[in-house]
C-alpha cells in the first residue's frame, strides 16, 4: 500500500494563476485568487474553497473529492463541484477521474441569467445576434475539457421549457459544435421579436449574427406541441436547425397551421455586415375561416380550404431594412369556398346593366366559388395581385392591382365575366376598389370611357 502522507492545509491570498494548455494553446489568467486547500491525509477527502476573477467576472468555488489520489491515478472518485458568479452557476455531484484527461460523470445543474453575457464571457464574441436571456439545464453530465454532454436534461430557455439531450464540443479548428434533440410543450418566440424591435428603435443592430455564426456549428432537432410567434400559431411542430459554413437553416418537416399542414425552410446568413434572409415552403389544406381571423380584414371573411406555395428573400442591416427590401411570391389555390363581404355576381350585373336606374356597386353579400387561384407578389411594402380568380356559379372574378401594406391604400380592379352557360353571357364588367383596407370604396372603373365602349375593353383586358 502507498504510504499515507499529510499534505495539510494551504492558502492562497490575492494570488495570480496562469493556465497553459499545451495541447490546444489555451492560456488563461486568474487574478485576485483567494483560496484554501484542505487535505488532511492522502487517504482522506480533499476540499478547495475560495474565489477568483476570470475575464472580469468574480467566481466563487467549492470543490471536494472523496479520493483524490484514486482520481489522479485514473480511478473514479466521488466529487462535488459548485461554482457561482453573476454570469453563471454550476453544481455537480458525481464521479471524476483523470485516466485520459479530466472526466466528469453524474448529475449536474447549470444556469445563467443571460446567454449573451455568457457567450461573450466564454468566447469574447461580439454581435451574437441573440436575444436569449436566462438559460438553465439539469440532467446527467458527461464532460471532458473538449466536450460536454447532458442527457435526460430538463432545460429552460427564458420561459420556454423542454426535455432532451444536448452536446457541445470544440473541434480541431477551435470551432464550437452543438447538437441536441429537444422536445417543448410550448415554444413562444414572441418576446424575442419584441426585444429585437426594441433594440432596433434604440439604434442597435438586433440581427448582427456574423459573430456567432462565424465560430459556431449546430445540428438541433426540435419538436413542440405548440409554437407561437405573435398571433401566428403552429402545433405539432417538428423541425431541424443547422448552422454550417456561417449559414443558419431551419427546416420545418411538419407542423399544423390553421387546420392545415406547413412545411418549409428559413435560411439566414451574413455578408458584409448585413443579414440575408430567405424562406420557402408550402401550406396545404388550411382553414380559410382561420386565415380570416389571422388577417382580420374589416368586413371580409372566407370559408373553405386553400393551398399555398411561398418564397421570399431580403437583405438588410436591421429589421426595418429587411421589411423594406423583401421580395416574395405567394401562389394560391382552393376549392369550394366563399368570400363574405362581396357579391361578384350582383356587382357584375349592376355594372353591366345599361339602365341608369341599375344603381351603383356595393361591397356586401357573399360569393361562393368552386375554384380559386392566383398569385400575390410582395415588393417592399406593396402587395401586387396577379389575376387572383374566383369562379362562381355564373361569374368569374379576376382580381388584379395593388395594396399598400403600410398605409393600407388600395388600387384594385375586378374583371367580372359570365361563366360558360350563364344566362347573361354578354354581361362583362370592370369594377375599381379604392380607399383603404379598413375603409374600402367600390365604383365603376374610371378607366372605362363613358361612350359605351366598355364591353370591348373588358373582353380584351385593356
Looking at residue 187, its pLDDT comes to: 94
Closest by CA to 104, choosing from 56, 65, 143, is 143
Looking at residue 434, its pLDDT comes to: 95
Looking at residue 223, its pLDDT comes to: 97
pLDDT at 124 over 60: no
Residue pLDDT, tens place only, 21-36: 655 556 788 999 999 9
Average pLDDT across the chain, whole number: 87
Contacts of 63 (CB under 8 A, 6+ apart): 47, 48, 49, 79, 80, 81, 82
Looking at residue 128, its pLDDT comes to: 45
| Structure confidence at residue 141 as a pLDDT band (50, 70, 90) | very high
What mean pLDDT do residues 368-392 have? 96
What mean pLDDT do residues 343-363 have? 82
Distance from C-alpha of 106 to C-alpha of 94, rounded to nearest angstrom: 4
Taking phi first (over 0 means left), then psi (-120 to 50 degrees means alpha), and beta for anything else, what does residue 101 get?
A: left
Specify the residue for cell string 375561416.
289
Closest by CA to 284, choosing from 268, 302, 267, 264, is 264
pLDDT at 456 over 70: no
| Structure confidence at residue 409 as a pLDDT band (50, 70, 90) | very high
In the structure grid, which three cell numbers stand for residue 429, read together?
364588367
Residue pLDDT, tens place only, 59-99: 999 999 999 988 988 899 999 999 999 999 999 999 999 88
Report pTM.
Answer: 0.80
pLDDT at 209 over 60: no
Looking at residue 426, its pLDDT comes to: 73
SS (HEC) of the chain: CCCCCCCEEEEEEEEEEEEEECCCCEEEEEEEEEEEEEECCCCCCEEEEEEEEECCEEEEEEEEECCHHHHHHCCCEEEEEEEECCCCEEEEEEEEECECECEEEEEEEEEECCHHHHHHHHHCCCCCCCCCCCEEEEEEEEEECCEEEEEEEEEEECCEEEEEEEEEEECCCCCEEEEEEEEEEEEECHHHHHHHHHHHHCCCCCCCCHHHHCCEEEEEEEEEEEEEECCEEEEEEEEEEEEECCEEEEEEEEEEECCEEEEEEEEEEEECCEEEEEEEEEEEEEEHHHHHHHHCCCCCEEEEEEEEEEEEEEEECCHHHHHHCCEEEEEEEEEEEEEECCCHHHHHHHHHCCCHHHCCCCCCCEEEEEEEEEEEEEECCEEEEEEEEEECCCEEEEEEEEEECCCCEEEEEEEEEECCCCCCCCCCEEEEEEEECCCEEEEECCCCCCCCCHHHHHHHCC
Closest by CA to 127, choosing from 239, 205, 217, 37, is 205
Looking at residue 208, its pLDDT comes to: 55
Percent of the chain with pLDDT over 90: 62
In the structure grid, which three cell numbers stand for residue 110, read together?
447549470
Looking at residue 133, its pLDDT comes to: 79
In the structure grid, which three cell numbers stand for residue 368, read together?
361562393
pLDDT at 342 over 90: yes
| Structure confidence at residue 328 as a pLDDT band (50, 70, 90) | very high
Looking at residue 197, its pLDDT comes to: 65
Ranges 43-47, 82-86, 91-95, 455-459: which has the least confidence: 455-459
Looking at residue 371, its pLDDT comes to: 97
Distance from C-alpha of 320 to C-alpha of 196, rounded to nearest angstrom: 11
Number of residues written out for the chain: 462
Amino acid at each position: 500500500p502507498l504510504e499515507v502522507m499529510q499534505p495539510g492545509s494551504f492558502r492562497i491570498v490575492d494570488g495570480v494563476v496562469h493556465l497553459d494548455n499545451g495541447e490546444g494553446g489555451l492560456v488563461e489568467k486568474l487574478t485576485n485568487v483567494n483560496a484554501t486547500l484542505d487535505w488532511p491525509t492522502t487517504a482522506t477527502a480533499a476540499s478547495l474553497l475560495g474565489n477568483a476573477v476570470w475575464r472580469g467576472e468574480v467566481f466563487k468555488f467549492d470543490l471536494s473529492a472523496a479520493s483524490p489520489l484514486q482520481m489522479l491515478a485514473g480511478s473514479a472518485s466521488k466529487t462535488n463541484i459548485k461554482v457561482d458568479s453573476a454570469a453563471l452557476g454550476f453544481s455537480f455531484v458525481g464521479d471524476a477521474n483523470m485516466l485520459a484527461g479530466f472526466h466528469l460523470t453524474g448529475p449536474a445543474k447549470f444556469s445563467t441569467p443571460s446567454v449573451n453575457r455568457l457567450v461573450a464571457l466564454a468566447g469574447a464574441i461580439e454581435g451574437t445576434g441573440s436575444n436569449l436571456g436566462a438559460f438553465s439545464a439539469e440532467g446527467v453530465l458527461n464532460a471532458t475539457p473538449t466536450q460536454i454532454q447532458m442527457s435526460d436534461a430538463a432545460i429552460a430557455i427564458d420561459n420556454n421549457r423542454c426535455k432532451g439531450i444536448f452536446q457541445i464540443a470544440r473541434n480541431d479548428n477551435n470551432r464550437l459544435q452543438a447538437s441536441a434533440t429537444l422536445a417543448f410543450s410550448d415554444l413562444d418566440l414572441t418576446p424575442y421579436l419584441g426585444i429585437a424591435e426594441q433594440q432596433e428603435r434604440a439604434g442597435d443592430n438586433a440581427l448582427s449574427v456574423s459573430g456567432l455564426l462565424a465560430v459556431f456549428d449546430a445540428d438541433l432537432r426540435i419538436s413542440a406541441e405548440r409554437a407561437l410567434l405573435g398571433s401566428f400559431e403552429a402545433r405539432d411542430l417538428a423541425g431541424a436547425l443547422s448552422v454550417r459554413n456561417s449559414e443558419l437553416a431551419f427546416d420545418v418537416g411538419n407542423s399544423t397551421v390553421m387546420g392545415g399542414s406547413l412545411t418549409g425552410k428559413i435560411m439566414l446568413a451574413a455578408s458584409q455586415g448585413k443579414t440575408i434572409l430567405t424562406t420557402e415552403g408550402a401550406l396545404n389544406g388550411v382553414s380559410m375561416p382561420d386565415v380570416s381571423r389571422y388577417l382580420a380584414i374589416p368586413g371580409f371573411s372566407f370559408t373553405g380550404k386553400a393551398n399555398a406555395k411561398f418564397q421570399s428573400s431580403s437583405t438588410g442591416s436591421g429589421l426595418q431594412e429587411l421589411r423594406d427590401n423583401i421580395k416574395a411570391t405567394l401562389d394560391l389555390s382552393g376549392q369550394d369556398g366563399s368570400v363574405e363581404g362581396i357579391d361578384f355576381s350582383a356587382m357584375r350585373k349592376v355594372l353591366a346593366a345599361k339602365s341608369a336606374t341599375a344603381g351603383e356597386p356595393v361591397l356586401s353579400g357573399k360569393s361562393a366559388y368552386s375554384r380559386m387561384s392566383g398569385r400575390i407578389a410582395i415588393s417592399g411594402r406593396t402587395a401586387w395581385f396577379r389575376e387572383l380568380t374566383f369562379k362562381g356559379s355564373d361569374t368569374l372574378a379576376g382580381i388584379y392591382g395593388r395594396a399598400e401594406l403600410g398605409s393600407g391604400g388600395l388600387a384594385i380592379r375586378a374583371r367580372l365575366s359570365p361563366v360558360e352557360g350563364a344566362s347573361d353571357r354578354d354581361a362583362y364588367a370592370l369594377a375599381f376598389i379604392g380607399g383603404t383596407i379598413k375603409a374600402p370604396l367600390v365604383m365603376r372603373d374610371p378607366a372605362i370611357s363613358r361612350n359605351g365602349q366598355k364591353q370591348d375593353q373588358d373582353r380584351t383586358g385593356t
